[in-house]
Structure 1
Amino acid sequence: MQHIGSTILRVVLGIIFATHGFQKFQGGIGFTADYFDAIGIPGFMAYIVAIIELVGGVAIILGLGTRLFGALLTVTMIVAIFTAKLSVGFIGADGLAGYELDLALAAIALYFALAGASSFSLDSKLFGKE
Protein backbone atom coordinates (compact mmCIF):
# COMPACT_ATOMS: atom_id res chain seq x y z
CA MET A 1 0.00 0.00 0.00
CA GLN A 2 2.89 2.38 0.67
CA HIS A 3 3.93 2.13 -3.00
CA ILE A 4 0.43 3.16 -4.07
CA GLY A 5 0.40 6.14 -1.70
CA SER A 6 3.88 7.19 -2.78
CA THR A 7 2.88 6.93 -6.44
CA ILE A 8 -0.24 9.07 -5.91
CA LEU A 9 1.82 11.68 -4.05
CA ARG A 10 4.49 11.65 -6.77
CA VAL A 11 1.98 12.08 -9.60
CA VAL A 12 0.15 14.92 -7.84
CA LEU A 13 3.44 16.69 -7.08
CA GLY A 14 4.49 16.29 -10.71
CA ILE A 15 1.20 17.68 -11.98
CA ILE A 16 1.52 20.74 -9.74
CA PHE A 17 5.07 21.50 -10.87
CA ALA A 18 4.48 20.73 -14.56
CA THR A 19 1.43 22.99 -14.54
CA HIS A 20 3.34 25.83 -12.90
CA GLY A 21 6.25 25.47 -15.34
CA PHE A 22 3.90 25.37 -18.33
CA GLN A 23 2.01 28.40 -17.03
CA LYS A 24 5.22 30.42 -16.88
CA PHE A 25 5.82 29.80 -20.58
CA GLN A 26 2.18 30.10 -21.64
CA GLY A 27 1.69 33.41 -19.85
CA GLY A 28 4.85 34.81 -21.38
CA ILE A 29 8.08 34.02 -19.58
CA GLY A 30 8.98 37.72 -19.79
CA PHE A 31 6.49 38.50 -17.02
CA THR A 32 8.19 36.00 -14.74
CA ALA A 33 11.63 37.32 -15.73
CA ASP A 34 10.49 40.87 -14.90
CA TYR A 35 9.19 39.71 -11.52
CA PHE A 36 12.49 37.95 -10.80
CA ASP A 37 14.37 41.15 -11.67
CA ALA A 38 12.07 43.14 -9.37
CA ILE A 39 12.87 40.91 -6.38
CA GLY A 40 16.61 40.87 -7.07
CA ILE A 41 16.97 37.59 -8.98
CA PRO A 42 18.49 37.77 -12.48
CA GLY A 43 15.67 37.56 -15.03
CA PHE A 44 17.29 34.70 -16.97
CA MET A 45 16.70 32.50 -13.92
CA ALA A 46 13.00 32.53 -14.81
CA TYR A 47 13.82 30.30 -17.79
CA ILE A 48 15.80 27.89 -15.64
CA VAL A 49 13.07 27.70 -12.99
CA ALA A 50 10.34 27.22 -15.59
CA ILE A 51 12.29 24.42 -17.29
CA ILE A 52 13.02 22.71 -13.97
CA GLU A 53 9.34 22.91 -13.03
CA LEU A 54 8.03 21.74 -16.41
CA VAL A 55 10.56 19.01 -17.20
CA GLY A 56 10.96 18.05 -13.55
CA GLY A 57 7.20 17.84 -13.09
CA VAL A 58 6.79 15.53 -16.08
CA ALA A 59 9.77 13.43 -14.95
CA ILE A 60 8.36 13.15 -11.42
CA ILE A 61 5.00 12.01 -12.84
CA LEU A 62 6.79 9.30 -14.80
CA GLY A 63 9.11 8.45 -11.95
CA LEU A 64 12.18 9.16 -14.06
CA GLY A 65 15.19 10.78 -12.41
CA THR A 66 13.06 11.09 -9.30
CA ARG A 67 15.88 11.73 -6.85
CA LEU A 68 17.55 14.32 -9.09
CA PHE A 69 14.36 16.21 -9.92
CA GLY A 70 13.15 15.92 -6.33
CA ALA A 71 16.35 17.65 -5.24
CA LEU A 72 16.09 20.36 -7.92
CA LEU A 73 12.46 21.07 -7.08
CA THR A 74 13.30 21.20 -3.36
CA VAL A 75 15.97 23.82 -4.00
CA THR A 76 13.58 25.76 -6.25
CA MET A 77 10.97 25.92 -3.48
CA ILE A 78 13.47 26.85 -0.77
CA VAL A 79 14.77 29.72 -2.92
CA ALA A 80 11.16 30.82 -3.61
CA ILE A 81 10.42 30.87 0.11
CA PHE A 82 13.47 32.95 1.01
CA THR A 83 13.34 35.37 -1.92
CA ALA A 84 9.64 35.91 -2.56
CA LYS A 85 7.50 34.58 0.26
CA LEU A 86 9.21 34.79 3.65
CA SER A 87 8.46 38.48 4.10
CA VAL A 88 4.73 37.85 3.66
CA GLY A 89 4.66 35.21 6.39
CA PHE A 90 3.55 31.62 6.67
CA ILE A 91 -0.12 32.26 5.92
CA GLY A 92 0.31 35.47 3.93
CA ALA A 93 -1.08 38.95 4.37
CA ASP A 94 -2.91 41.65 2.44
CA GLY A 95 -4.17 39.19 -0.17
CA LEU A 96 -0.70 37.78 -0.87
CA ALA A 97 -0.09 34.06 -0.51
CA GLY A 98 2.26 32.94 2.23
CA TYR A 99 4.88 30.25 2.01
CA GLU A 100 2.86 27.37 3.48
CA LEU A 101 2.24 25.74 0.07
CA ASP A 102 5.86 26.25 -1.00
CA LEU A 103 7.02 24.61 2.23
CA ALA A 104 4.70 21.62 1.70
CA LEU A 105 5.88 21.21 -1.91
CA ALA A 106 9.52 21.45 -0.79
CA ALA A 107 8.95 18.78 1.86
CA ILE A 108 7.26 16.43 -0.62
CA ALA A 109 9.97 16.98 -3.22
CA LEU A 110 12.62 16.36 -0.56
CA TYR A 111 10.91 13.08 0.32
CA PHE A 112 11.35 11.91 -3.28
CA ALA A 113 14.92 13.19 -3.42
CA LEU A 114 15.71 11.00 -0.42
CA ALA A 115 13.42 8.00 -0.95
CA GLY A 116 13.23 7.67 -4.73
CA ALA A 117 10.10 6.96 -6.74
CA SER A 118 8.64 3.53 -5.79
CA SER A 119 8.22 0.33 -7.70
CA PHE A 120 5.57 2.00 -9.87
CA SER A 121 8.04 4.21 -11.77
CA LEU A 122 10.26 4.29 -14.81
CA ASP A 123 13.28 4.45 -12.48
CA SER A 124 12.25 1.06 -11.14
CA LYS A 125 11.34 -0.48 -14.48
CA LEU A 126 14.36 0.79 -16.45
CA PHE A 127 17.09 0.81 -13.83
CA GLY A 128 15.81 -1.50 -11.11
CA LYS A 129 15.90 1.21 -8.49
CA GLU A 130 13.28 3.02 -6.50
Structure 2
Amino acid sequence: MNKTGEIGAVILRLVLGFTFFMHGYDKFQGGIDNTAGFFSSLGLPGFMAYIVGGIEVVGGIAVIIGLGTRIISAIFAVIMLGAILMVKIGNGFLGGYELDIVLMAVAIYLFFKGNTILSIDSKLPKRSFKTVEEKL
Protein backbone atom coordinates (compact mmCIF):
# COMPACT_ATOMS: atom_id res chain seq x y z
CA MET A 1 0.00 0.00 0.00
CA ASN A 2 1.30 3.47 -0.79
CA LYS A 3 2.06 6.07 1.87
CA THR A 4 -1.20 7.96 1.26
CA GLY A 5 -3.19 4.74 1.77
CA GLU A 6 -1.28 4.02 4.96
CA ILE A 7 -2.02 7.51 6.31
CA GLY A 8 -5.69 6.99 5.46
CA ALA A 9 -5.71 3.67 7.32
CA VAL A 10 -4.14 5.34 10.37
CA ILE A 11 -6.83 8.04 10.31
CA LEU A 12 -9.55 5.38 10.13
CA ARG A 13 -7.92 3.47 13.00
CA LEU A 14 -7.74 6.58 15.19
CA VAL A 15 -11.31 7.65 14.45
CA LEU A 16 -12.71 4.15 15.03
CA GLY A 17 -10.80 3.77 18.30
CA PHE A 18 -11.82 7.20 19.58
CA THR A 19 -15.47 6.70 18.61
CA PHE A 20 -15.72 3.36 20.41
CA PHE A 21 -13.82 4.70 23.42
CA MET A 22 -16.25 7.60 23.74
CA HIS A 23 -19.30 5.34 23.36
CA GLY A 24 -18.00 3.02 26.08
CA TYR A 25 -17.01 5.94 28.30
CA ASP A 26 -20.51 7.37 27.89
CA LYS A 27 -22.07 4.06 28.95
CA PHE A 28 -20.14 4.14 32.24
CA GLN A 29 -20.39 7.91 32.74
CA GLY A 30 -24.15 7.95 32.14
CA GLY A 31 -24.72 5.09 34.56
CA ILE A 32 -23.96 1.61 33.34
CA ASP A 33 -26.99 0.35 35.29
CA ASN A 34 -29.21 2.34 32.91
CA THR A 35 -27.50 0.67 29.95
CA ALA A 36 -27.89 -2.72 31.63
CA GLY A 37 -31.61 -2.01 32.01
CA PHE A 38 -31.82 -1.08 28.34
CA PHE A 39 -30.08 -4.33 27.38
CA SER A 40 -32.56 -6.25 29.55
CA SER A 41 -35.48 -4.51 27.85
CA LEU A 42 -34.15 -5.88 24.55
CA GLY A 43 -34.11 -9.41 25.94
CA LEU A 44 -30.34 -9.43 26.42
CA PRO A 45 -28.71 -10.19 29.77
CA GLY A 46 -28.05 -6.94 31.64
CA PHE A 47 -24.45 -7.92 32.41
CA MET A 48 -23.72 -7.70 28.67
CA ALA A 49 -23.78 -3.90 29.05
CA TYR A 50 -20.70 -4.15 31.25
CA ILE A 51 -18.96 -6.41 28.74
CA VAL A 52 -19.82 -4.25 25.73
CA GLY A 53 -18.92 -1.04 27.58
CA GLY A 54 -15.61 -2.53 28.71
CA ILE A 55 -14.78 -3.73 25.21
CA GLU A 56 -15.58 -0.30 23.82
CA VAL A 57 -13.38 1.53 26.35
CA VAL A 58 -10.42 -0.84 26.46
CA GLY A 59 -10.73 -1.83 22.80
CA GLY A 60 -10.99 1.80 21.75
CA ILE A 61 -7.73 2.64 23.50
CA ALA A 62 -6.05 -0.46 22.04
CA VAL A 63 -7.15 0.44 18.50
CA ILE A 64 -5.94 4.04 18.96
CA ILE A 65 -2.45 2.81 19.88
CA GLY A 66 -2.65 0.02 17.32
CA LEU A 67 -2.52 -3.01 19.60
CA GLY A 68 -4.58 -6.03 18.59
CA THR A 69 -6.28 -4.01 15.89
CA ARG A 70 -7.45 -6.99 13.85
CA ILE A 71 -9.06 -8.87 16.72
CA ILE A 72 -10.66 -5.83 18.30
CA SER A 73 -11.93 -4.58 14.93
CA ALA A 74 -13.64 -7.94 14.39
CA ILE A 75 -15.27 -7.65 17.82
CA PHE A 76 -16.35 -4.07 17.05
CA ALA A 77 -17.94 -5.26 13.79
CA VAL A 78 -19.92 -7.92 15.68
CA ILE A 79 -21.05 -5.32 18.24
CA MET A 80 -22.23 -3.06 15.43
CA LEU A 81 -24.08 -5.89 13.72
CA GLY A 82 -25.81 -6.64 17.02
CA ALA A 83 -26.71 -2.98 17.53
CA ILE A 84 -28.17 -2.77 14.04
CA LEU A 85 -30.20 -5.98 14.29
CA MET A 86 -31.35 -5.58 17.91
CA VAL A 87 -31.96 -1.84 18.12
CA LYS A 88 -31.62 0.25 15.00
CA ILE A 89 -33.04 -1.74 12.07
CA GLY A 90 -36.60 -0.62 12.78
CA ASN A 91 -35.61 3.05 12.54
CA GLY A 92 -34.49 2.74 8.93
CA PHE A 93 -31.20 3.80 7.43
CA LEU A 94 -31.31 7.59 7.90
CA GLY A 95 -31.66 8.44 11.56
CA GLY A 96 -31.26 4.77 12.38
CA TYR A 97 -28.29 2.65 11.55
CA GLU A 98 -26.24 4.72 9.09
CA LEU A 99 -23.49 5.47 11.63
CA ASP A 100 -23.43 1.84 12.72
CA ILE A 101 -22.96 0.68 9.12
CA VAL A 102 -20.04 3.09 8.66
CA LEU A 103 -18.39 2.01 11.91
CA MET A 104 -18.89 -1.64 10.98
CA ALA A 105 -17.38 -1.04 7.52
CA VAL A 106 -14.33 0.71 9.01
CA ALA A 107 -13.91 -2.12 11.55
CA ILE A 108 -14.11 -4.73 8.78
CA TYR A 109 -11.58 -2.77 6.69
CA LEU A 110 -9.14 -2.66 9.62
CA PHE A 111 -9.70 -6.36 10.26
CA PHE A 112 -8.61 -7.16 6.71
CA LYS A 113 -5.93 -4.45 6.58
CA GLY A 114 -4.19 -5.48 9.77
CA ASN A 115 -1.17 -3.48 10.87
CA THR A 116 -0.81 0.16 9.95
CA ILE A 117 2.12 2.50 10.32
CA LEU A 118 2.36 4.22 13.68
CA SER A 119 0.91 1.20 15.51
CA ILE A 120 2.30 -1.09 18.15
CA ASP A 121 1.20 -4.06 16.02
CA SER A 122 3.56 -2.98 13.24
CA LYS A 123 6.52 -3.09 15.64
CA LEU A 124 5.82 -6.59 16.95
CA PRO A 125 7.47 -9.62 15.35
CA LYS A 126 5.37 -11.25 12.66
CA ARG A 127 3.95 -14.67 13.43
CA SER A 128 3.34 -17.22 10.78
CA PHE A 129 0.56 -19.69 11.31
CA LYS A 130 0.72 -23.04 9.60
CA THR A 131 -2.37 -24.40 7.96
CA VAL A 132 -3.74 -27.77 8.95
CA GLU A 133 -2.29 -29.29 5.78
CA GLU A 134 1.18 -27.94 6.56
CA LYS A 135 1.06 -29.43 10.06
CA LEU A 136 0.29 -32.88 8.68
- The TM-score with structure 2 as length reference comes to 0.87
Deviations along 1:90-130, whole A, 9 cap, x unmatched?
Answer: 113xxxxx00000100010011111113122100012358x
**Aligned partner of residue 81 in structure 1, secondary structure:** helix
The equivalent residue for 1:70 is 73
The equivalent residue for 1:82 is 85
The equivalent residue for 1:2 is 5
Letter of the 1:60 partner, please give it: V
Deviations along 1:19-42, whole A, 9 cap, x unmatched?
Answer: 111111111100100001111111
Is the CA contact (8 Å cut-off) linking 1:10 and 1:117 kept in structure 2? no
Q: CA RMSD in A?
A: 1.2
The equivalent residue for 1:118 is 116
The equivalent residue for 2:107 is 109
Does residue 40 in structure 1 map to residue 43 in structure 2?
yes
Q: 1:127 aligns with which of 115, 125, 128?
A: 125
Q: For residues 39 and 69 of structure 1, what CA distance do their matches in structure 2 show?
A: 24
How many percent of aligned residue pairs carry the same amino acid?
Answer: 52
Deviations along 1:27-83, whole A, 9 cap, x unmatched?
Answer: 110010000111111111001100111111111101100000000000000000000
Letter of the 2:104 partner, please give it: A
Does residue 29 in structure 1 map to residue 29 in structure 2?
no
Q: Which runs of 4+ in 1 moved over 6 A?
A: none
Task: Give the number of the structure whose alpha-carbon radius of gyration is greater.
Answer: 2
The equivalent residue for 1:49 is 52
Q: For residues 21 and 65 of structure 1, what CA distance do their matches in structure 2 show?
A: 18
How many pairs were matched up?
A: 124
The equivalent residue for 2:133 is none
Letter of the 2:64 partner, please give it: I
